[in-house]
C-alpha cells in the first residue's frame, strides 16, 4: 500500500474513533436493556461510564499541548549564522522555518509542531538540536540532519502524514486512561491496528525526509551522518563514565563538548567504531510498530537516490554558533552538567584526578598495614619487609572481600597489594614533582615519570608475587629516590562536607487509616510523609472501577503530591524510625513504626493502593533498620 493509502486509511480509523467510543456506550445501554433487572443496570452504567471516560480522554488528547522543552533558546538576533543555515534549508525543502531553536542534551535532532485539530491546523514549530551533535558532526553533516528534520514539514509531505503523529498520541492517551476490563481489551486491539497502519506511513515519511537530506548534502554525507547518530550513544556514555565523572572527583567543571570531540578523534575510538558499527546497525530493533526504519534500510534507500556534489564544510558543527566557546559553555551547564566548581582544562582535571586516586590508595595501604599489625607505621619500607616475608594475604586482609572463596584469596591479595603499593610509590614520586598523570583520550590517563611513560604495575607486581624479586624492587626505588619512610596516613586530606541528601518520592501507599482519618503515606528517600485524604476519593474510585479506570483517578490525584510542597500534617524523618514492619492481627493488617515518641499504627484497609512499590521499599528499609 502506498504511503498516501496508508495515511488515508489511518486517518479514517482516527476519525472513526469517536464513533467507536459512542458505540461502546450505546452497546452497553442496549445490552443492559436486554439483560434487565439490577445486572442490566450495572451493564448500562458501565457502558456509559466507559463512553464518558474515553470521551474525556479523547477531548483532552486533542487539546493537549507539547510539553515545554527544557534548554537554551537560540534567537535570530543571538545566532544569525545558525538561523541562516536553517532558513536556507527550509527554502530548499519548501517549508516554512521553525519559530524557535532549542538546544537539548540528547544525541538527536527533531522538529515538532504544536498543531490543533489532529494536525490539520498549523501551529508553532520548534527545532531541537542535540548538543552532542554539535561536537560529533561537521557543518555539512549537521546540515544533512537538519534538512531531514525540516523535510518532515515540507510541501512533499501531505497533511495526512502529519496527522498520523497526532493520532498516535491521541489513541495512546485515551486508551491509557483505562486499567483493565473488556473495553480496554477491545480498544487496545483498535489502537494496535491503527498503529500498525500509521507507523507504516511514518516509516515511509522518514524515507521521504531522507531524500531531502541527500538533496542538501549528498549521499555519502547523508549516510555518514546516519551512521554517526547510530553509533554515538555508546561512545557518549563511555565518555561520561570515564572522563566527565572526573569533574565531580576533582570539583572542577570540564569543557564537555570540547572533550567529546577530542575523544571521538582519538584512534582508539575510531578503531572501535570501525569494528562495531556494522554490528550495531545489524542489531537495531525492527518491528512493524516502529516509527523509524532501521538505519541499514535507510542507508540502502539512500544509495538508490540521485546524488549531488555538496560543498563540504569540515568545521565542527558548533562553528555555526556566533561565539561557540561562550555559547557552548552556557548551554552545557543548562542541559548536560551542573556547575561542579571552577572551569578547568582537561589536562588539569586528569592530573588532579590521578593524584587524588594514588593518594587514596596510599592512605588505604597505610590503613591496611596498621590494622593488620604488619606495618604499624604504614611506610613503604615496612610494606617492603612484609613482601620479603611473603605475608601479603594478612596485609591485604583488612581491604579484602570477606566472602571470597579460599582458592582465590591469594590472587585477590596480590592484586590489592600491587595496586596499593604502586599508588604509594607514585604518590611519593608525585609529591616530589617527578611523576604526574597525563590525559589520554584512548584510556583515561597515562602515568609519566620524568616525562616518560611509567608502568608502575610492572615494577611492583614481581616483588608481590615472589619474595626473591623484592631486592630488585628496592634497587629501583633507591634509584628513583623513593623514601622508605614515605607514608600517607589515612585522613591526611580533609574530608569534604557531604551534600545533604535530596528528598525524592519513591512510592505512595494510598488510603491508610490512622484512627478514623484516611491518609496517604508518601515513602521518600529521606522521610515518610502523612497527607490527609478525603473519603470522597473512595467514592470516585469505586465509580471509576466499574469501567476499569480506578487507577486513573488515583494517578491524577497523586500526581500533585510533591514531597517538597505537599500540605502534610506529619513528616517523619527516616533517621528517627528505629524499627517496625507490617503485621496482621486477626483479619486486619497494620503498618507499625517505632518512633522516639512512641508507636505509630496505620491500618491497611481493603481500599489501600500501592503506587511505585511503596510497600516493598518500606519493607526493605525496615528490614535493614532491624538488622542494623
Helix (H, G, I), strand (E, B) or coil at 506: strand
Do 130 and 107 meet the contact criterion of CB atoms below 8 Å apart? yes
Q: What is the mean pLDDT of residues 32-37?
A: 76
Do 112 and 126 meet the contact criterion of CB atoms below 8 Å apart? yes
Angle subtended at Cα 121 by Cα 120 and Cα 122, rounded to the nearest 5 degrees: 115
For 58-84, letters b (16+ CB in 10 Å) and e give beebbeeeeeeeebbebeeeebeebbe
| Bridge-based pairing state of the strands 121-130 and 100-104 | parallel
CA–CA dist 106, 104 (Å, integer):
6
Among candidate residues 419, 433, 425, the one with its CA nearest the CA of residue 476: 425
Grid cell locating 600: 505509630
Q: What is the mean pLDDT of residues 239-264?
A: 93
CA–CA dist 71, 132 (Å, integer):
14
Q: Percent of the chain scored above 70 by pLDDT?
A: 77
Among candidate residues 210, 62, 73, 199, the one with its CA nearest the CA of residue 150: 210
How many CA within 13 A on the CB side of residue 494? 2
Do 301 and 210 meet the contact criterion of CB atoms below 8 Å apart? yes
Predicted local confidence at residue 122, as pLDDT: 61
DSSP state of 285: -
Burial class (CB in 10 A: 0-12, 13-18, 19+), 346: buried
Q: Comparing 578 with 142, which gets the higher pLDDT?
A: 142
Q: Kindly tell me if the per-residue pLDDT of 343 is higher than 80.
A: yes
Q: Comparing 54 with 573, which gets the higher pLDDT?
A: 573
Which residue's entry shows cell 586528569?
350
Predicted local confidence at residue 219, as pLDDT: 94
Q: Comparing 185 with 64, which gets the higher pLDDT?
A: 185
Torsion, Cα of 407, 412, 413, 416 (10° steps): 180
Q: What is the mean pLDDT of residues 43-48?
A: 72
Q: Kindly tell me if the per-residue pLDDT of 476 is higher than 80.
A: yes
CA–CA dist 200, 6 (Å, integer):
7
Torsion, Cα of 51, 56, 57, 60 (10° steps): 160
| Bridge-based pairing state of the strands 527-532 and 121-130 | unpaired
Model confidence pLDDT, tens digit, residues 498-557:
556 677 888 888 888 888 888 889 998 889 999 888 877 777 666 655 555 556 666 666
If you average pLDDT over each of 93-107, 389-403, 468-482, 541-555, which comes out highest?
468-482
CA end-to-end span of the chain, whole Å? 66
For 297-314, letters b (16+ CB in 10 Å) and e give bbbebbeebeeeebeebe
Do 153 and 208 meet the contact criterion of CB atoms below 8 Å apart? no
Among candidate residues 317, 95, 107, the one with its CA nearest the CA of residue 208: 95
Residues with Cβ within 8 Å of residue 359, at least 6 apart in sequence: 423, 427, 488, 492, 493
Do 317 and 142 meet the contact criterion of CB atoms below 8 Å apart? yes
Least confident span in 141-145, 202-206, 455-459, 569-573: 202-206
CA–CA dist 138, 306 (Å, integer):
23
Q: What is the mean pLDDT of residues 102-128?
A: 76
Angle subtended at Cα 260 by Cα 244 and Cα 146, rounded to the nearest 5 degrees: 130
Q: Comparing 70 with 201, which gets the higher pLDDT?
A: 70
Cα 78 to chain centroid distance, Å, stands at 30
Among candidate residues 104, 100, 202, 208, the one with its CA nearest the CA of residue 147: 208
The model's confidence at residue 3, banded by pLDDT at 50, 70 and 90, is: very low
Predicted local confidence at residue 584, as pLDDT: 81
Q: Is 459 left (phi over 0), alpha (psi -120 to 50) or beta?
A: alpha
Model confidence pLDDT, tens digit, residues 346-392:
999 999 999 999 999 999 999 999 999 999 999 999 999 999 999 99
Grid cell locating 117: 485539530
Q: Percent of the chain scored above 90 by pLDDT?
A: 40
Grid cell locating 25: 456506550
The model's confidence at residue 66, banded by pLDDT at 50, 70 and 90, is: low
The model's confidence at residue 59, banded by pLDDT at 50, 70 and 90, is: low
Predicted local confidence at residue 44, as pLDDT: 75
Amino acid at each position: 500500500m502506498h504511503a498516501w493509502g496508508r495515511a488515508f486509511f489511518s486517518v479514517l480509523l482516527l476519525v472513526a474513533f469517536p464513533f467507536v467510543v459512542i458505540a461502546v456506550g450505546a452497546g452497553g445501554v442496549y445490552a443492559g436493556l436486554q439483560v434487565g433487572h439490577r445486572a442490566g443496570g450495572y451493564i448500562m452504567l458501565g457502558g456509559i461510564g466507559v463512553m464518558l471516560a474515553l470521551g474525556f480522554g479523547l477531548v483532552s488528547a486533542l487539546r493537549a499541548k507539547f510539553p515545554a522543552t527544557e534548554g537554551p533558546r537560540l534567537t535570530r538576533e543571538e545566532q544569525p549564522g545558525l538561523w541562516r543555515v536553517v532558513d536556507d534549508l527550509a527554502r530548499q525543502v519548501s517549508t516554512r522555518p521553525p519559530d524557535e531553536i532549542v538546544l537539548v542534551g540528547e544525541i538527536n535532532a527533531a522538529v515538532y509542531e504544536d498543531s490543533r485539530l489532529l494536525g490539520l491546523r498549523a501551529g508553532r514549530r520548534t527545532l531541537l538540536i542535540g548538543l552532542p551533535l554539535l561536537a560529533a558532526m561537521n557543518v555539512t553533516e549537521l546540515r544533512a540532519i537538519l534538512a531531514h528534520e525540516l523535510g518532515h514539514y515540507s510541501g512533499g509531505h501531505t497533511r495526512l502524514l502529519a496527522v498520523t503523529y497526532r493520532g498516535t498520541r491521541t489513541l495512546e492517551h485515551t486508551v491509557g486512561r483505562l486499567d483493565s476490563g473488556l473495553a480496554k481489551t477491545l480498544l487496545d486491539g483498535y489502537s494496535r491496528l491503527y498503529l500498525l497502519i500509521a507507523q507504516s506511513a511514518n516509516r515511509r515519511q522518514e524515507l521521504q525526509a531522507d531524500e531531502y537530506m541527500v538533496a542538501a548534502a549528498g549521499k555519502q554525507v547523508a549516510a555518514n551522518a546516519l551512521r554517526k547518530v547510530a553509533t554515538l550513544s555508546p561512545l557518549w556514555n563511555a565518555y561520561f563514565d570515564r572522563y566527565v565523572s572526573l569533574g565531580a572527583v576533582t570539583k572542577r567543571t570540564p569543557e564537555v563538548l570540547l572533550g567529546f570531540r577530542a575523544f571521538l578523534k582519538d584512534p582508539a575510538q575510531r578503531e572501535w567504531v570501525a569494528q562495531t558499527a556494522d554490528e550495531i546497525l545489524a542489531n537495531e530493533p525492527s518491528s512493524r510498530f516502529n516509527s523509524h526504519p532501521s538505519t541499514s534500510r535507510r542507508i540502502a534507500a539512500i544509495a538508490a537516490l540521485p546524488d549531488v556534489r555538496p560543498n563540504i564544510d569540515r568545521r565542527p558543527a558548533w562553528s555555526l554558533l556566533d561565539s561557540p566557546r561562550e555559547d557552548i559553555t552556557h548551554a552545557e551547564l543548562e542541559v548536560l552538567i551542573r556547575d561542579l566548581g571552577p572551569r578547568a582544562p582537561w589536562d588539569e582535571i586528569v592530573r588532579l584526578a590521578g593524584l587524588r586516586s594514588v593518594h587514596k590508595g596510599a592512605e588505604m595501604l597505610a590503613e591496611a598495614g596498621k590494622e593488620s599489625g604488619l606495618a604499624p607505621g604504614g611506610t613503604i619500607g615496612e610494606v617492603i619487609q612484609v613482601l620479603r616475608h611473603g605475608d601479603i594475604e594478612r596485609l591485604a586482609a583488612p581491604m579484602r572481600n570477606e566472602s571470597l572463596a579460599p582458592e582465590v584469596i591469594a590472587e585477590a591479595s596480590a592484586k590489592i597489594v600491587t595496586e596499593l603499593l604502586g599508588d604509594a610509590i607514585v604518590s611519593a614520586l608525585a609529591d616530589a614533582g617527578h611523576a604526574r598523570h597525563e590525559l589520554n583520550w584512548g584510556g583515561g590517563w597515562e602515568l609519566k615519570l620524568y616525562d616518560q611513560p611509567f608502568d608502575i604495575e610492572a615494577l611492583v607486581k614481581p616483588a608481590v608475587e615472589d619474595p626473591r624479586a623484592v631486592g630488585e624492587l628496592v634497587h629501583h626505588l633507591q634509584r628513583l629516590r623513593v623514601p622508605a619512610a614515605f607514608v600517607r596516613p589515612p585522613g591526611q586530606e580533609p574530608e569534604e562536607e557531604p551534600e545533604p541528601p535530596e528528598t525524592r518520592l519513591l512510592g505512595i501507599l494510598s488510603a491508610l487509616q490512622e484512627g478514623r482519618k484516611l491518609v496517604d503515606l508518601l515513602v521518600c528517600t529521606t522521610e515518610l510523609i502523612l497527607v490527609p485524604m478525603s473519603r470522597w476519593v473512595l467514592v470516585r474510585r469505586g465509580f471509576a472501577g466499574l469501567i476499569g479506570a480506578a487507577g486513573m483517578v488515583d494517578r491524577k490525584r497523586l500526581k500533585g503530591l510533591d514531597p517538597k510542597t505537599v500540605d502534610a500534617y506529619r513528616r517523619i524523618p527516616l533517621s528517627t524510625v528505629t524499627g517496625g514492619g507490617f503485621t496482621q492481627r486477626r483479619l486486619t493488617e497494620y503498618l507499625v513504626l517505632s518512633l522516639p515518641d512512641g508507636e505509630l499504627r496505620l491500618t491497611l484497609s481493603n481500599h489501600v493502593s500501592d503506587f511505585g512499590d511503596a510497600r516493598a521499599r518500606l519493607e526493605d528499609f525496615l528490614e535493614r533498620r532491624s538488622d542494623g
